[in-house]
Chains A and B, each alone.
Chain A
Protein backbone atom coordinates (compact mmCIF):
# COMPACT_ATOMS: atom_id res chain seq x y z
CA UNK A 1 0.00 0.00 0.00
CA UNK A 2 1.47 3.36 -0.98
CA UNK A 3 2.17 5.84 1.77
CA UNK A 4 -0.64 8.37 1.94
CA UNK A 5 0.36 11.94 2.39
CA UNK A 6 -1.34 15.25 2.90
CA UNK A 7 -4.40 16.13 4.92
CA UNK A 8 -6.62 13.41 6.35
CA UNK A 9 -9.31 15.83 7.45
CA UNK A 10 -10.43 18.63 9.71
CA UNK A 11 -11.11 17.71 13.31
CA UNK A 12 -13.47 19.83 15.40
CA UNK A 13 -13.56 19.39 19.16
CA UNK A 14 -16.73 19.92 21.22
CA UNK A 15 -17.29 19.88 24.94
CA UNK A 16 -20.81 18.51 24.94
CA UNK A 17 -22.58 15.78 23.00
CA UNK A 18 -25.43 18.18 22.10
CA UNK A 19 -23.03 20.50 20.24
CA UNK A 20 -21.51 17.58 18.41
CA UNK A 21 -24.90 16.23 17.33
CA UNK A 22 -26.01 19.67 16.07
CA UNK A 23 -22.82 20.13 14.04
CA UNK A 24 -22.83 16.57 12.71
CA UNK A 25 -26.45 16.79 11.65
CA UNK A 26 -25.85 20.13 9.89
CA UNK A 27 -22.84 18.67 8.06
CA UNK A 28 -24.79 15.61 6.95
CA UNK A 29 -27.75 17.74 5.88
CA UNK A 30 -25.54 19.99 3.78
CA UNK A 31 -24.26 17.02 1.84
CA UNK A 32 -21.24 15.71 3.73
CA UNK A 33 -20.87 11.95 3.52
CA UNK A 34 -17.24 11.24 4.39
CA UNK A 35 -17.35 12.35 8.00
CA UNK A 36 -17.31 10.64 11.36
CA UNK A 37 -18.08 11.33 15.01
CA UNK A 38 -15.79 10.21 17.83
CA UNK A 39 -17.25 10.08 21.33
CA UNK A 40 -16.01 8.64 24.63
CA UNK A 41 -19.18 6.54 24.96
CA UNK A 42 -21.88 5.19 22.69
CA UNK A 43 -23.97 8.08 21.39
CA UNK A 44 -26.81 6.83 19.22
CA UNK A 45 -27.93 10.33 18.25
CA UNK A 46 -24.52 11.00 16.72
CA UNK A 47 -24.81 7.86 14.61
CA UNK A 48 -28.26 8.94 13.46
CA UNK A 49 -27.04 12.49 12.76
CA UNK A 50 -24.44 11.34 10.23
CA UNK A 51 -26.85 8.99 8.49
CA UNK A 52 -26.96 5.73 10.39
CA UNK A 53 -26.74 2.99 7.85
CA UNK A 54 -26.91 -0.74 7.90
CA UNK A 55 -23.86 -2.84 8.41
CA UNK A 56 -23.21 -6.52 8.17
CA UNK A 57 -22.80 -7.28 11.89
CA UNK A 58 -26.36 -8.70 12.29
CA UNK A 59 -25.86 -10.91 9.24
CA UNK A 60 -22.48 -12.14 10.48
CA UNK A 61 -24.09 -12.85 13.87
CA UNK A 62 -26.99 -14.76 12.28
CA UNK A 63 -24.76 -16.83 10.03
CA UNK A 64 -22.43 -17.58 12.96
CA UNK A 65 -25.38 -18.70 15.09
CA UNK A 66 -26.73 -20.96 12.38
CA UNK A 67 -23.30 -22.45 11.83
CA UNK A 68 -22.97 -23.19 15.55
CA UNK A 69 -26.41 -24.78 15.60
CA UNK A 70 -25.71 -26.97 12.58
CA UNK A 71 -22.22 -27.92 13.68
CA UNK A 72 -23.24 -29.05 17.16
CA UNK A 73 -26.41 -30.82 16.06
CA UNK A 74 -24.55 -32.73 13.35
CA UNK A 75 -21.70 -33.55 15.70
CA UNK A 76 -24.08 -34.95 18.32
CA UNK A 77 -25.90 -36.93 15.67
CA UNK A 78 -22.64 -38.30 14.33
CA UNK A 79 -21.38 -39.28 17.79
CA UNK A 80 -24.63 -40.80 18.98
CA UNK A 81 -25.66 -42.58 15.81
CA UNK A 82 -22.45 -43.54 13.97
CA UNK A 83 -19.27 -43.06 15.96
CA UNK A 84 -20.25 -44.37 19.38
CA UNK A 85 -23.77 -45.78 19.40
CA UNK A 86 -24.93 -46.44 22.95
CA UNK A 87 -28.19 -47.85 24.20
CA UNK A 88 -29.35 -45.27 26.74
CA UNK A 89 -32.43 -46.61 28.52
CA UNK A 90 -33.72 -48.12 25.31
CA UNK A 91 -34.10 -44.79 23.57
CA UNK A 92 -33.54 -44.47 19.83
CA UNK A 93 -29.95 -43.59 18.88
CA UNK A 94 -31.15 -40.41 17.24
CA UNK A 95 -32.72 -38.90 20.37
CA UNK A 96 -32.94 -35.30 19.25
CA UNK A 97 -34.54 -33.88 22.42
CA UNK A 98 -31.24 -34.46 24.18
CA UNK A 99 -29.29 -32.74 21.41
CA UNK A 100 -31.23 -29.50 21.65
CA UNK A 101 -29.51 -28.04 24.70
CA UNK A 102 -25.87 -28.27 23.52
CA UNK A 103 -26.94 -27.21 20.01
CA UNK A 104 -28.66 -24.19 21.55
CA UNK A 105 -25.59 -23.36 23.63
CA UNK A 106 -23.38 -23.48 20.55
CA UNK A 107 -25.83 -21.27 18.67
CA UNK A 108 -25.44 -18.63 21.38
CA UNK A 109 -21.69 -19.09 21.64
CA UNK A 110 -21.05 -18.84 17.90
CA UNK A 111 -23.51 -16.00 17.45
CA UNK A 112 -21.86 -14.07 20.26
CA UNK A 113 -18.32 -14.67 19.07
CA UNK A 114 -19.27 -13.90 15.46
CA UNK A 115 -20.96 -10.66 16.51
CA UNK A 116 -17.98 -9.60 18.62
CA UNK A 117 -15.21 -10.50 16.22
CA UNK A 118 -17.29 -9.65 13.16
CA UNK A 119 -17.86 -6.17 14.57
CA UNK A 120 -14.13 -5.72 15.16
CA UNK A 121 -13.27 -6.96 11.69
CA UNK A 122 -15.89 -4.79 10.00
CA UNK A 123 -14.57 -1.79 11.93
CA UNK A 124 -11.18 -2.44 10.37
CA UNK A 125 -9.63 -3.57 13.63
CA UNK A 126 -6.99 -4.41 14.62
CA UNK A 127 -5.47 -1.32 13.08
CA UNK A 128 -1.90 -0.30 13.84
CA UNK A 129 -2.19 3.26 12.70
CA UNK A 130 -4.87 5.89 12.41
CA UNK A 131 -4.08 9.47 11.34
CA UNK A 132 -6.44 11.00 13.91
CA UNK A 133 -4.04 10.10 16.68
CA UNK A 134 -1.70 12.70 15.21
CA UNK A 135 -3.94 15.34 16.80
CA UNK A 136 -2.84 15.79 20.43
CA UNK A 137 -6.27 16.90 21.64
CA UNK A 138 -7.79 13.73 20.13
CA UNK A 139 -5.26 11.52 21.92
CA UNK A 140 -6.09 13.20 25.23
CA UNK A 141 -9.83 13.66 24.99
CA UNK A 142 -11.45 11.15 22.66
CA UNK A 143 -11.76 8.45 25.30
CA UNK A 144 -12.46 10.70 28.28
CA UNK A 145 -14.62 13.79 27.91
CA UNK A 146 -14.39 15.34 24.45
CA UNK A 147 -16.61 14.95 21.43
CA UNK A 148 -15.09 15.12 17.97
CA UNK A 149 -16.39 15.61 14.47
CA UNK A 150 -14.01 14.90 11.61
CA UNK A 151 -14.71 16.07 8.04
CA UNK A 152 -12.53 13.92 5.86
CA UNK A 153 -10.48 15.22 2.94
CA UNK A 154 -11.71 12.40 0.71
CA UNK A 155 -15.14 14.01 0.55
CA UNK A 156 -15.67 15.96 -2.69
CA UNK A 157 -17.00 18.88 -0.65
CA UNK A 158 -13.73 19.21 1.22
CA UNK A 159 -11.90 22.51 1.04
CA UNK A 160 -9.55 23.64 3.78
CA UNK A 161 -10.88 27.17 4.07
CA UNK A 162 -14.59 26.59 3.48
CA UNK A 163 -14.77 23.45 5.60
CA UNK A 164 -12.98 25.19 8.44
CA UNK A 165 -15.38 28.12 8.20
CA UNK A 166 -18.31 25.70 8.18
CA UNK A 167 -17.08 23.97 11.33
CA UNK A 168 -16.41 27.21 13.11
CA UNK A 169 -20.07 28.15 12.75
CA UNK A 170 -20.79 25.69 15.55
CA UNK A 171 -18.34 27.25 18.04
CA UNK A 172 -16.09 24.23 18.56
CA UNK A 173 -13.33 24.41 21.16
CA UNK A 174 -10.85 24.00 18.33
CA UNK A 175 -10.56 22.96 14.69
CA UNK A 176 -7.30 21.30 13.68
CA UNK A 177 -5.94 19.93 10.46
CA UNK A 178 -5.00 16.29 10.71
CA UNK A 179 -2.13 14.97 8.61
CA UNK A 180 -1.77 11.42 7.40
Chain B
Protein backbone atom coordinates (compact mmCIF):
# COMPACT_ATOMS: atom_id res chain seq x y z
CA UNK B 1 0.00 0.00 0.00
CA UNK B 2 1.56 3.29 -1.02
CA UNK B 3 0.97 6.30 1.17
CA UNK B 4 2.70 8.72 -1.15
CA UNK B 5 6.27 9.93 -1.19
CA UNK B 6 6.71 10.34 2.52
CA UNK B 7 5.54 6.89 3.42
CA UNK B 8 9.00 5.98 4.65
CA UNK B 9 8.78 8.45 7.49
CA UNK B 10 5.28 7.34 8.40
CA UNK B 11 4.49 4.48 10.73
CA UNK B 12 2.88 1.43 9.19
CA UNK B 13 -0.77 2.31 8.60
CA UNK B 14 -1.85 -1.05 7.16
CA UNK B 15 -4.98 -2.79 8.36
CA UNK B 16 -3.98 -5.49 10.87
CA UNK B 17 -3.59 -9.01 9.49
CA UNK B 18 -6.29 -10.47 11.73
CA UNK B 19 -8.95 -8.91 9.50
CA UNK B 20 -8.30 -11.94 7.29
CA UNK B 21 -9.61 -14.14 10.08
CA UNK B 22 -12.69 -11.96 10.34
CA UNK B 23 -13.34 -12.48 6.64
CA UNK B 24 -13.01 -16.21 6.98
CA UNK B 25 -15.28 -16.13 10.04
CA UNK B 26 -17.91 -14.16 8.12
CA UNK B 27 -17.86 -16.64 5.23
CA UNK B 28 -18.15 -19.64 7.55
CA UNK B 29 -21.07 -17.95 9.39
CA UNK B 30 -22.76 -17.22 6.07
CA UNK B 31 -22.37 -20.83 4.97
CA UNK B 32 -23.69 -22.31 8.22
CA UNK B 33 -26.69 -20.02 8.37
CA UNK B 34 -27.44 -20.45 4.68
CA UNK B 35 -27.76 -24.18 5.29
CA UNK B 36 -29.91 -23.56 8.38
CA UNK B 37 -32.12 -21.19 6.37
CA UNK B 38 -32.55 -23.75 3.61
CA UNK B 39 -33.52 -26.44 6.12
CA UNK B 40 -35.97 -24.11 7.87
CA UNK B 41 -37.48 -22.95 4.57
CA UNK B 42 -37.92 -26.57 3.48
CA UNK B 43 -39.52 -27.54 6.80
CA UNK B 44 -41.79 -24.49 6.70
CA UNK B 45 -42.85 -25.21 3.13
CA UNK B 46 -43.40 -28.92 3.55
CA UNK B 47 -44.88 -29.08 7.08
CA UNK B 48 -46.59 -25.72 7.40
CA UNK B 49 -47.40 -25.01 3.74
CA UNK B 50 -46.14 -21.45 3.82
CA UNK B 51 -44.69 -21.68 0.31
CA UNK B 52 -41.34 -20.05 1.09
CA UNK B 53 -43.02 -16.71 1.84
CA UNK B 54 -41.01 -16.11 5.02
CA UNK B 55 -37.81 -16.63 3.08
CA UNK B 56 -38.40 -13.52 0.99
CA UNK B 57 -39.66 -11.44 3.93
CA UNK B 58 -36.68 -12.29 6.08
CA UNK B 59 -34.43 -11.68 3.11
CA UNK B 60 -35.93 -8.19 2.86
CA UNK B 61 -35.07 -7.71 6.53
CA UNK B 62 -31.46 -8.77 5.91
CA UNK B 63 -31.23 -6.58 2.84
CA UNK B 64 -32.59 -3.52 4.65
CA UNK B 65 -30.03 -4.02 7.42
CA UNK B 66 -27.10 -4.28 4.99
CA UNK B 67 -28.35 -1.24 3.15
CA UNK B 68 -28.58 0.63 6.47
CA UNK B 69 -24.96 -0.14 7.25
CA UNK B 70 -23.68 0.79 3.79
CA UNK B 71 -25.67 3.98 3.31
CA UNK B 72 -25.54 4.94 6.97
CA UNK B 73 -21.77 4.58 6.69
CA UNK B 74 -21.74 6.95 3.73
CA UNK B 75 -23.91 9.48 5.57
CA UNK B 76 -21.73 9.37 8.69
CA UNK B 77 -18.67 9.78 6.50
CA UNK B 78 -20.19 12.97 5.12
CA UNK B 79 -21.17 14.08 8.59
CA UNK B 80 -17.66 13.77 10.01
CA UNK B 81 -16.20 15.61 6.99
CA UNK B 82 -18.58 18.48 7.76
CA UNK B 83 -17.97 18.63 11.50
CA UNK B 84 -14.25 17.83 11.48
CA UNK B 85 -12.59 16.63 14.65
CA UNK B 86 -10.35 13.80 15.71
CA UNK B 87 -13.16 11.34 16.32
CA UNK B 88 -13.95 11.54 12.61
CA UNK B 89 -10.42 10.85 11.49
CA UNK B 90 -10.27 7.75 13.69
CA UNK B 91 -13.38 6.17 12.15
CA UNK B 92 -12.99 7.52 8.61
CA UNK B 93 -11.51 4.47 6.91
CA UNK B 94 -13.97 1.97 8.43
CA UNK B 95 -16.79 4.29 7.32
CA UNK B 96 -15.32 4.44 3.82
CA UNK B 97 -15.16 0.66 3.76
CA UNK B 98 -18.84 0.52 4.76
CA UNK B 99 -19.75 2.99 2.04
CA UNK B 100 -17.80 0.98 -0.55
CA UNK B 101 -20.05 -2.04 0.04
CA UNK B 102 -22.79 -0.25 -1.92
CA UNK B 103 -22.24 -2.36 -5.08
CA UNK B 104 -22.97 -5.50 -3.06
CA UNK B 105 -26.11 -3.87 -1.66
CA UNK B 106 -27.24 -3.03 -5.20
CA UNK B 107 -26.72 -6.68 -6.12
CA UNK B 108 -28.65 -7.80 -3.04
CA UNK B 109 -31.61 -5.70 -4.17
CA UNK B 110 -32.17 -7.86 -7.27
CA UNK B 111 -34.15 -10.65 -5.53
CA UNK B 112 -36.44 -8.00 -3.99
CA UNK B 113 -36.79 -6.23 -7.32
CA UNK B 114 -37.73 -9.39 -9.18
CA UNK B 115 -40.09 -10.73 -6.51
CA UNK B 116 -42.02 -7.54 -5.75
CA UNK B 117 -45.32 -9.27 -6.48
CA UNK B 118 -44.72 -11.72 -3.68
CA UNK B 119 -43.95 -9.01 -1.15
CA UNK B 120 -46.05 -5.96 -1.93
CA UNK B 121 -49.82 -5.77 -2.25
CA UNK B 122 -49.60 -2.81 -4.64
CA UNK B 123 -47.41 -4.86 -6.97
CA UNK B 124 -49.86 -7.79 -6.97
CA UNK B 125 -52.96 -5.72 -7.69
CA UNK B 126 -52.87 -4.16 -11.13
CA UNK B 127 -56.49 -2.99 -11.16
CA UNK B 128 -57.55 -1.91 -7.66
CA UNK B 129 -61.20 -1.21 -8.59
CA UNK B 130 -61.67 -4.69 -10.04
CA UNK B 131 -59.86 -6.31 -7.12
CA UNK B 132 -62.15 -4.49 -4.71
CA UNK B 133 -65.23 -5.69 -6.60
CA UNK B 134 -63.89 -9.23 -6.44
CA UNK B 135 -63.45 -8.77 -2.64
CA UNK B 136 -59.71 -9.36 -2.85
CA UNK B 137 -58.87 -6.12 -1.07
CA UNK B 138 -60.68 -3.65 1.16
CA UNK B 139 -62.02 -0.31 0.03
CA UNK B 140 -59.19 1.49 1.87
CA UNK B 141 -56.59 -0.61 0.15
CA UNK B 142 -58.13 -0.07 -3.28
CA UNK B 143 -58.24 3.66 -2.66
CA UNK B 144 -54.62 3.78 -1.41
CA UNK B 145 -53.29 1.67 -4.26
CA UNK B 146 -55.07 3.80 -6.86
CA UNK B 147 -53.87 7.08 -5.37
CA UNK B 148 -50.30 5.94 -4.66
CA UNK B 149 -49.87 4.35 -8.09
CA UNK B 150 -47.50 7.02 -9.47
CA UNK B 151 -45.00 6.13 -6.76
CA UNK B 152 -45.89 2.55 -5.96
CA UNK B 153 -45.80 0.58 -9.18
CA UNK B 154 -43.29 -2.07 -10.19
CA UNK B 155 -41.75 0.05 -12.95
CA UNK B 156 -41.88 3.21 -10.86
CA UNK B 157 -40.16 1.63 -7.87
CA UNK B 158 -37.48 0.16 -10.13
CA UNK B 159 -36.84 3.61 -11.62
CA UNK B 160 -36.69 5.26 -8.20
CA UNK B 161 -34.35 2.58 -6.92
CA UNK B 162 -32.04 2.88 -9.91
CA UNK B 163 -31.93 6.68 -9.66
CA UNK B 164 -31.20 6.56 -5.93
CA UNK B 165 -28.44 3.99 -6.36
CA UNK B 166 -27.00 6.07 -9.23
CA UNK B 167 -26.86 9.12 -6.96
CA UNK B 168 -25.24 7.18 -4.11
CA UNK B 169 -22.71 5.65 -6.52
CA UNK B 170 -21.83 9.11 -7.80
CA UNK B 171 -21.05 10.35 -4.31
CA UNK B 172 -19.24 7.12 -3.52
CA UNK B 173 -17.13 7.45 -6.67
CA UNK B 174 -15.94 10.99 -5.95
CA UNK B 175 -15.43 10.58 -2.22
CA UNK B 176 -13.47 7.38 -2.68
CA UNK B 177 -11.37 8.76 -5.54
CA UNK B 178 -10.51 11.93 -3.67
CA UNK B 179 -9.71 9.98 -0.55
CA UNK B 180 -7.09 7.96 -2.45
CA UNK B 181 -5.72 11.13 -4.05
CA UNK B 182 -5.57 12.80 -0.66
CA UNK B 183 -3.45 9.97 0.70
CA UNK B 184 -1.13 10.12 -2.29
CA UNK B 185 -0.77 13.90 -2.31
CA UNK B 186 2.94 14.68 -1.80
CA UNK B 187 2.23 18.23 -0.62
CA UNK B 188 0.34 18.75 2.62
CA UNK B 189 -2.64 20.46 0.96
CA UNK B 190 -4.65 20.08 4.12
CA UNK B 191 -6.98 23.00 3.61
CA UNK B 192 -7.62 22.19 -0.03
CA UNK B 193 -8.77 18.65 0.74
CA UNK B 194 -10.77 19.72 3.74
CA UNK B 195 -12.78 22.22 1.70
CA UNK B 196 -13.24 19.80 -1.14
CA UNK B 197 -14.71 17.12 1.12
CA UNK B 198 -16.83 19.62 3.01
CA UNK B 199 -18.38 20.86 -0.21
CA UNK B 200 -19.40 17.44 -1.47
CA UNK B 201 -20.60 16.35 1.98
CA UNK B 202 -22.92 19.30 2.49
CA UNK B 203 -24.80 18.56 -0.71
CA UNK B 204 -24.45 14.87 -0.09
CA UNK B 205 -26.23 14.87 3.25
CA UNK B 206 -29.22 16.80 1.90
CA UNK B 207 -29.53 14.53 -1.11
CA UNK B 208 -28.96 11.46 1.06
CA UNK B 209 -31.87 12.33 3.31
CA UNK B 210 -34.19 12.71 0.32
CA UNK B 211 -33.12 9.59 -1.57
CA UNK B 212 -33.07 7.53 1.59
CA UNK B 213 -36.61 8.57 2.43
CA UNK B 214 -37.80 7.64 -1.07
CA UNK B 215 -36.47 4.10 -0.94
CA UNK B 216 -37.47 3.59 2.69
CA UNK B 217 -41.04 4.32 1.61
CA UNK B 218 -40.76 2.10 -1.46
CA UNK B 219 -39.11 -0.89 0.17
CA UNK B 220 -40.47 -0.94 3.72
CA UNK B 221 -43.29 1.51 4.47
CA UNK B 222 -45.30 0.45 1.40
CA UNK B 223 -45.52 -3.11 2.74
CA UNK B 224 -48.62 -1.71 4.44
CA UNK B 225 -50.10 0.14 1.53
CA UNK B 226 -52.75 2.11 3.42
CA UNK B 227 -50.50 3.47 6.14
CA UNK B 228 -48.32 6.55 6.01
CA UNK B 229 -46.29 8.59 8.44
CA UNK B 230 -44.48 11.78 7.55
CA UNK B 231 -41.82 10.98 10.16
CA UNK B 232 -40.94 7.64 8.64
CA UNK B 233 -38.01 8.82 6.55
CA UNK B 234 -36.39 10.61 9.45
CA UNK B 235 -36.99 7.62 11.70
CA UNK B 236 -35.16 5.46 9.17
CA UNK B 237 -32.40 8.01 8.79
CA UNK B 238 -31.70 8.11 12.52
CA UNK B 239 -31.97 4.33 12.67
CA UNK B 240 -29.35 4.03 9.94
CA UNK B 241 -27.05 6.40 11.77
CA UNK B 242 -27.62 4.42 14.97
CA UNK B 243 -26.76 1.09 13.36
CA UNK B 244 -23.86 2.30 11.24
CA UNK B 245 -22.33 4.24 14.11
CA UNK B 246 -22.55 1.29 16.49
CA UNK B 247 -20.90 -0.91 13.88
CA UNK B 248 -18.12 1.55 13.14
CA UNK B 249 -17.30 1.98 16.84
CA UNK B 250 -17.30 -1.77 17.26
CA UNK B 251 -14.97 -2.22 14.29
CA UNK B 252 -12.61 0.53 15.37
CA UNK B 253 -12.36 -0.78 18.91
CA UNK B 254 -11.74 -4.28 17.64
CA UNK B 255 -9.06 -3.00 15.25
CA UNK B 256 -7.40 -1.06 18.06
CA UNK B 257 -6.05 -4.28 19.53
CA UNK B 258 -3.14 -3.82 17.12
CA UNK B 259 -1.18 -0.95 15.61
CA UNK B 260 -1.74 1.58 14.15
CA UNK B 261 -5.10 2.12 15.81
CA UNK B 262 -3.67 1.06 19.16
CA UNK B 263 -1.82 4.37 19.20
CA UNK B 264 -4.32 6.40 17.24
CA UNK B 265 -7.46 5.58 19.20
CA UNK B 266 -7.05 7.22 22.57
CA UNK B 267 -9.46 7.15 25.45
CA UNK B 268 -10.47 10.76 24.72
CA UNK B 269 -11.58 9.91 21.19
CA UNK B 270 -13.25 6.72 22.34
CA UNK B 271 -15.13 8.75 24.95
CA UNK B 272 -16.24 11.18 22.21
CA UNK B 273 -17.49 8.30 20.08
CA UNK B 274 -19.40 6.94 23.07
CA UNK B 275 -21.01 10.32 23.66
CA UNK B 276 -22.13 10.59 20.05
CA UNK B 277 -23.55 7.07 20.23
CA UNK B 278 -25.49 8.22 23.30
CA UNK B 279 -26.88 11.12 21.25
CA UNK B 280 -28.04 8.68 18.57
CA UNK B 281 -29.74 6.56 21.23
CA UNK B 282 -31.61 9.62 22.50
CA UNK B 283 -32.53 10.95 19.07
CA UNK B 284 -33.77 7.55 17.96
CA UNK B 285 -36.17 7.11 20.87
CA UNK B 286 -37.25 10.73 20.53
CA UNK B 287 -38.33 10.24 16.92
CA UNK B 288 -39.78 6.77 17.46
CA UNK B 289 -41.78 7.85 20.49
CA UNK B 290 -42.97 11.07 18.81
CA UNK B 291 -44.40 9.07 15.94
CA UNK B 292 -46.12 6.72 18.34
CA UNK B 293 -47.46 9.51 20.54
CA UNK B 294 -48.86 11.50 17.61
CA UNK B 295 -50.58 8.49 16.11
CA UNK B 296 -51.81 7.33 19.54
CA UNK B 297 -53.21 10.80 20.30
CA UNK B 298 -54.90 11.10 16.91
CA UNK B 299 -56.31 7.58 17.18
CA UNK B 300 -57.47 7.72 13.57
CA UNK B 301 -58.70 4.60 11.83
CA UNK B 302 -56.28 4.98 8.91
CA UNK B 303 -53.19 5.31 11.09
CA UNK B 304 -53.64 3.40 14.31
CA UNK B 305 -53.96 -0.12 12.80
CA UNK B 306 -50.24 -0.04 11.95
CA UNK B 307 -49.44 0.07 15.65
CA UNK B 308 -52.21 -2.34 16.61
CA UNK B 309 -50.79 -4.86 14.12
CA UNK B 310 -47.51 -4.52 15.96
CA UNK B 311 -48.78 -4.61 19.54
CA UNK B 312 -51.71 -7.03 19.66
CA UNK B 313 -51.57 -10.78 19.36
CA UNK B 314 -48.24 -11.31 21.06
CA UNK B 315 -46.38 -8.56 19.22
CA UNK B 316 -46.50 -6.41 22.35
CA UNK B 317 -43.68 -8.52 23.75
CA UNK B 318 -41.55 -7.79 20.70
CA UNK B 319 -42.45 -4.08 20.86
CA UNK B 320 -41.61 -3.83 24.57
CA UNK B 321 -38.32 -5.64 24.12
CA UNK B 322 -37.60 -3.37 21.15
CA UNK B 323 -37.89 -0.42 23.50
CA UNK B 324 -35.70 -2.18 26.07
CA UNK B 325 -32.93 -3.14 23.62
CA UNK B 326 -33.12 0.03 21.60
CA UNK B 327 -33.23 2.60 24.30
CA UNK B 328 -33.38 1.43 27.89
CA UNK B 329 -30.27 -0.76 27.91
CA UNK B 330 -27.94 1.39 25.76
CA UNK B 331 -29.19 4.57 27.44
CA UNK B 332 -28.58 3.41 31.00
CA UNK B 333 -25.20 1.90 30.11
CA UNK B 334 -23.98 4.88 28.11
CA UNK B 335 -24.82 7.24 30.96
CA UNK B 336 -21.71 5.93 32.66
CA UNK B 337 -18.41 7.59 31.90
CA UNK B 338 -16.51 4.43 32.79
CA UNK B 339 -18.38 2.30 30.29
CA UNK B 340 -17.73 4.81 27.53
CA UNK B 341 -14.02 4.77 28.34
CA UNK B 342 -13.65 1.00 28.61
CA UNK B 343 -13.04 -0.75 25.30
CA UNK B 344 -14.66 -4.08 26.11
CA UNK B 345 -17.73 -2.53 27.69
CA UNK B 346 -18.28 -0.02 24.91
CA UNK B 347 -18.01 -2.87 22.42
CA UNK B 348 -20.69 -4.72 24.36
CA UNK B 349 -23.00 -1.68 24.22
CA UNK B 350 -22.40 -1.32 20.48
CA UNK B 351 -23.16 -5.01 20.03
CA UNK B 352 -26.47 -4.51 21.84
CA UNK B 353 -27.22 -1.50 19.63
CA UNK B 354 -26.62 -3.48 16.44
CA UNK B 355 -28.78 -6.29 17.77
CA UNK B 356 -31.49 -3.76 18.64
CA UNK B 357 -31.53 -2.49 15.05
CA UNK B 358 -32.06 -6.06 13.81
CA UNK B 359 -34.85 -6.55 16.35
CA UNK B 360 -36.49 -3.27 15.31
CA UNK B 361 -36.24 -4.09 11.60
CA UNK B 362 -37.99 -7.40 12.31
CA UNK B 363 -40.74 -5.55 14.18
CA UNK B 364 -41.11 -3.09 11.28
CA UNK B 365 -41.25 -5.69 8.52
CA UNK B 366 -42.78 -8.94 9.78
CA UNK B 367 -46.20 -7.73 11.06
CA UNK B 368 -47.07 -6.12 7.71
CA UNK B 369 -48.34 -9.38 6.30
CA UNK B 370 -51.92 -10.51 6.97
CA UNK B 371 -50.90 -13.91 8.36
CA UNK B 372 -48.54 -12.30 10.87
CA UNK B 373 -50.31 -9.05 11.82
CA UNK B 374 -51.71 -9.20 15.36
CA UNK B 375 -50.73 -12.85 15.40
CA UNK B 376 -47.23 -13.68 16.51
CA UNK B 377 -47.01 -17.43 16.40
CA UNK B 378 -44.25 -19.94 16.60
CA UNK B 379 -43.44 -21.51 13.25
CA UNK B 380 -40.40 -22.57 11.29
CA UNK B 381 -40.89 -19.37 9.33
CA UNK B 382 -40.27 -17.30 12.45
CA UNK B 383 -36.76 -18.72 12.79
CA UNK B 384 -36.01 -17.73 9.21
CA UNK B 385 -36.04 -14.13 10.48
CA UNK B 386 -32.96 -15.12 12.46
CA UNK B 387 -31.05 -17.26 10.01
CA UNK B 388 -31.65 -15.43 6.73
CA UNK B 389 -30.63 -11.94 7.95
CA UNK B 390 -27.53 -13.47 9.55
CA UNK B 391 -26.64 -15.12 6.23
CA UNK B 392 -27.12 -11.92 4.25
CA UNK B 393 -25.41 -9.86 6.95
CA UNK B 394 -22.43 -12.21 7.12
CA UNK B 395 -21.94 -11.99 3.37
CA UNK B 396 -22.09 -8.22 3.69
CA UNK B 397 -19.58 -8.33 6.57
CA UNK B 398 -17.20 -10.40 4.47
CA UNK B 399 -17.33 -7.76 1.76
CA UNK B 400 -16.97 -4.97 4.33
CA UNK B 401 -13.84 -6.56 5.81
CA UNK B 402 -12.44 -7.07 2.31
CA UNK B 403 -12.93 -3.36 1.65
CA UNK B 404 -11.38 -2.54 5.00
CA UNK B 405 -8.16 -4.26 3.96
CA UNK B 406 -7.84 -2.32 0.74
CA UNK B 407 -6.74 1.01 2.23
CA UNK B 408 -4.41 2.14 5.01
CA UNK B 409 -6.45 2.38 8.18
CA UNK B 410 -5.65 6.06 8.82
CA UNK B 411 -5.98 8.82 6.28
CA UNK B 412 -3.11 11.27 5.84
CA UNK B 413 -3.28 14.96 4.93
CA UNK B 414 -5.69 15.74 7.70
CA UNK B 415 -5.22 18.64 10.14
CA UNK B 416 -5.28 16.24 13.07
CA UNK B 417 -3.02 13.64 11.52
CA UNK B 418 0.23 14.61 13.26
CA UNK B 419 -1.47 14.91 16.59
CA UNK B 420 -3.14 11.53 16.57
CA UNK B 421 0.06 9.81 15.47
CA UNK B 422 1.98 11.01 18.54
CA UNK B 423 2.52 8.22 21.01
CA UNK B 424 1.86 10.49 23.95
CA UNK B 425 -0.21 13.61 23.77
CA UNK B 426 -0.58 16.51 26.13
CA UNK B 427 -2.95 18.92 24.45
CA UNK B 428 -2.98 21.22 27.45
A residues with CB within 8 A of B: 17-18, 21, 43, 45-46, 58, 62, 89, 91, 97-98, 100-101
Contacts and interface: CB of A to CB of B under 8 A. Distances in A.
B428 A45 contact: yes
Nearest to A101: B293
Given A58-B337, A100-B289, A21 B428 contact: yes
Nearest to B335: A62
B338 to A, nearest CB: 10
Nearest to B427: A45
Interface string B333-360: 0010100000000000000000000000
B203 interface: no
Given A45-B426, A45-B428, A100 B293 contact: yes
Q: 10 nearest interchain CB pairs?
A: A17-B428, A45-B428, A97-B296, A18-B428, A21-B428, A97-B293, A43-B428, A45-B426, A89-B299, A18-B426
A133 B299 CA distance: 64
B230 interface: no
Interface residues of B, number: 10
B374 to A, nearest CB: 19
B292 A97 contact: yes
Contacts of A45: 426, 428
Given A17-B428, A46-B428, A91-B299, 12 more contacts: A18-B428, A21-B426, A43-B428, A45-B426, A62-B335, A89-B299, A97-B292, A97-B293, A97-B296, A98-B297, A100-B289, A100-B293
14 contacts: A17-B428, A18-B426, A18-B428, A21-B426, A21-B428, A45-B426, A46-B428, A62-B335, A91-B299, A97-B292, A97-B293, A97-B296, A100-B293, A101-B293
A15 B337 CA distance: 31
A28 B64 CA distance: 54
Contacts of A89: 299
A21 B212 CA distance: 49
Contacts of B297: 98
A112 to B, nearest CB: 14
Nearest to A18: B428
Identify which of B289, B292, B293, B428 gathers the most chain A CB atoms within 10 Å of its CB.
B428
A156 to B, nearest CB: 29
A40 to B, nearest CB: 13
A101 B292 CA distance: 12
Nearest to B268: A44
A91 B304 CA distance: 14
A101 B296 CA distance: 13
A89 B301 CA distance: 14
Contacts of B428: 17-18, 21, 43, 45-46
Contacts of A21: 426, 428
A100 B335 CA distance: 20
A43 B426 CA distance: 11
B159 to A, nearest CB: 40
Interface string B295-307: 0110100000000
Contacts of B292: 97
A46 to B, nearest CB: 8
B219 to A, nearest CB: 29
A96 to B, nearest CB: 10
A43 B428 CA distance: 7
Contacts of A46: 428
A58 B296 CA distance: 35
Contacts of B296: 97
Contacts of A17: 428
Contacts of B293: 97-98, 100-101
A89 B292 CA distance: 17
Nearest to B425: A45
A100 B289 CA distance: 9
A18 to B, nearest CB: 6
A18 B425 CA distance: 11
A54 to B, nearest CB: 10
A100 to B, nearest CB: 7
Nearest to B297: A98
A8 B337 CA distance: 34
Contacts of B337: 58
B308 to A, nearest CB: 14
Nearest to B292: A97
Contacts of A98: 293, 297
A21 B289 CA distance: 47
Contacts of B335: 62
